[in-house]
């Protein structure tokens, strides 16, 4: 696997970042880990598909998103839109620490994952707005130019999967996402085998980005990241596709009107893409 990041760069930073980005309860959990275990978990996270969900993972991803916010010099009164958050709370967790009292919006279709996200983020000092609908219809919910940054935190693959499921008549809204995952993987295998993924998913994906660009302010940024899960690979997710989701998105979005790719030093193009609205 192409490493997410450089373990030699991150290991010296991880204790300080844990102090900054974890809750008291999480810090306690973190402190119970011997330092060689922290280093081991960090190495696994950065160099292998993710097989364990650990507090070290949380530190790393929260710290990375904080670096994105800092690099983009986002002001204090931030309005952030996350697309397809599921119940992953890295972004609201970091935002609560770097930009307290600002506005976090998520557009997320799956009902039970939205409920779980609300539970995980209870009490965070953020104005939370939940849009339980396909992000393709966001125009109905958000005034144009009202958002400072749009994030796809490990969401490009999920969006593509949901597009394919909709076309195949598979419900991803009222069902358990993990129970549906084998069917999603089967669809992806078929698309890869027949070489039709681009024909079926590119256009809806681009249309979604065009819609999102309307709610983004001029100079605002769409930030996407990705990493792999071992479980998906074990269940037959096409490995080359899974590893290259960001390069695929870059190829599909090449030449899209209204934004252009920017680069942030230290963020690998394999795992991150940043598009700035012009």
Ligand X SMILES: C[S@@+](CC[C@H](N)C(=O)[O-])C[C@H]1O[C@@H](n2cnc3c(N)ncnc32)[C@H](O)[C@@H]1O
Q: How far is the CB of 10 from ligand X (least distance, A)?
A: 19
Residue pair 21/59 in contact by the 8 Å Cβ criterion: yes
Task: Give the residue ranges of DSSP H helices in the chain.
Answer: 7-21, 24-31, 35-47, 55-71, 90-98, 111-120, 156-168, 177-194, 197, 203-215, 230-234, 239-243, 245-253
Q: How far is the CB of 267 from ligand X (least distance, A)?
A: 17
The gap from C-alpha 121 to its chain's centroid, in whole angstroms, comes to: 16
Q: Which is nearer to ligand X, 93 or 110 (CB)?
A: 110
Give SS3 for 193: helix
Q: How far is the CB of 76 from ligand X (least distance, A)?
A: 25
Q: How far is the CB of 163 from ligand X (least distance, A)?
A: 7
Beta-bridged to residue 228, according to DSSP, are none
Q: Which is nearer to ligand X, 154 or 277 (CB)?
A: 154
Q: Which is nearer to ligand X, 58 or 158 (CB)?
A: 158
Q: How far is the CB of 63 from ligand X (least distance, A)?
A: 16
CA atoms within 13 A on the CB side of 231: 7
Tell which residue, 162, 170, 31, 63, has the closest CA to residue 108: 162
Q: How far is the CB of 195 from ligand X (least distance, A)?
A: 23
Q: Which is nearer to ligand X, 40 or 124 (CB)?
A: 124
Q: Which is nearer to ligand X, 54 or 108 (CB)?
A: 108
Q: Give the CB-nearest residue to ligand X.
A: 86
Distance CA 199, CA 164 (A): 11
Q: How far is the CB of 170 from ligand X (least distance, A)?
A: 12
What the block records as the tokens of 74 is 């986002």
Residues 6+ apart with CB under 8 A from 246: 156, 224, 225, 226, 269, 270, 271, 272, 273
* Contacting positions for ligand X (CB under 6 A): 84-86, 88, 107-110, 113, 134-136, 153-155, 158-159, 162, 172, 177
Distance CA 269, CA 225 (A): 9
Distance CA 125, CA 130 (A): 15
Give SS3 for 268: coil
Q: Which is nearer to ligand X, 84 or 142 (CB)?
A: 84
Q: How far is the CB of 154 from ligand X (least distance, A)?
A: 4
Q: Which is nearer to ligand X, 28 or 171 (CB)?
A: 171
Q: Which is nearer to ligand X, 101 or 167 (CB)?
A: 167
């Amino acid at each position: 696997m192409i490493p997410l990041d450089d373990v030699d760069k991150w290991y010296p930073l991880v204790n300080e970042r844990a102090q900054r980005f974890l809750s008291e309860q999480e810090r306690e959990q973190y402190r119970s880990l011997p330092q060689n275990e922290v280093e081991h978990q960090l190495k696994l996270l950065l160099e292998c598909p993710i097989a364990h969900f650990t507090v070290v993972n949380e530190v790393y991803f929260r710290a990375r998103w904080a670096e994105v916010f800092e690099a983009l010099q986002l002001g204090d009164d931030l309005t952030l839109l996350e697309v397809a958050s599921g119940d992953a709370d890295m972004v609201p967790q970091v935002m609560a620490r770097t930009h307290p009292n600002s506005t976090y919006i998520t557009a997320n279709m799956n009902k039970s994952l939205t409920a779980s996200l609300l539970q995980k983020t209870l009490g965070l000092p953020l104005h939370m707005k939940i849009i339980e609908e396909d992000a393709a219809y966001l125009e109905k919910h958000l005034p144009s130019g009202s958002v400072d940054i749009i994030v796809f935190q490990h969401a490009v693959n999920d969006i593509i999967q949901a597009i394919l499921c909709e076309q195949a008549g598979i419900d991803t809204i009222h069902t358990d996402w993990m129970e549906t995952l084998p069917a999603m993987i089967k669809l992806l295998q078929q698309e890869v085998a027949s070489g039709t993924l681009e024909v079926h998913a590119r256009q809806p994906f681009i249309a979604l980005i065009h819609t999102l660009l309307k709610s983004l302010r001029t100079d605002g940024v769409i930030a996407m990241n990705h990493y792999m899960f071992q479980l998906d690979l074990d269940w037959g997710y096409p490995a080359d596709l899974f590893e290259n989701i960001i390069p695929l998105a870059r190829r599909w979005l090449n030449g899209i009107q209204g934004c252009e790719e920017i680069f942030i030093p230290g963020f690998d193009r394999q795992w991150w893409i940043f598009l700035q609205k012009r």
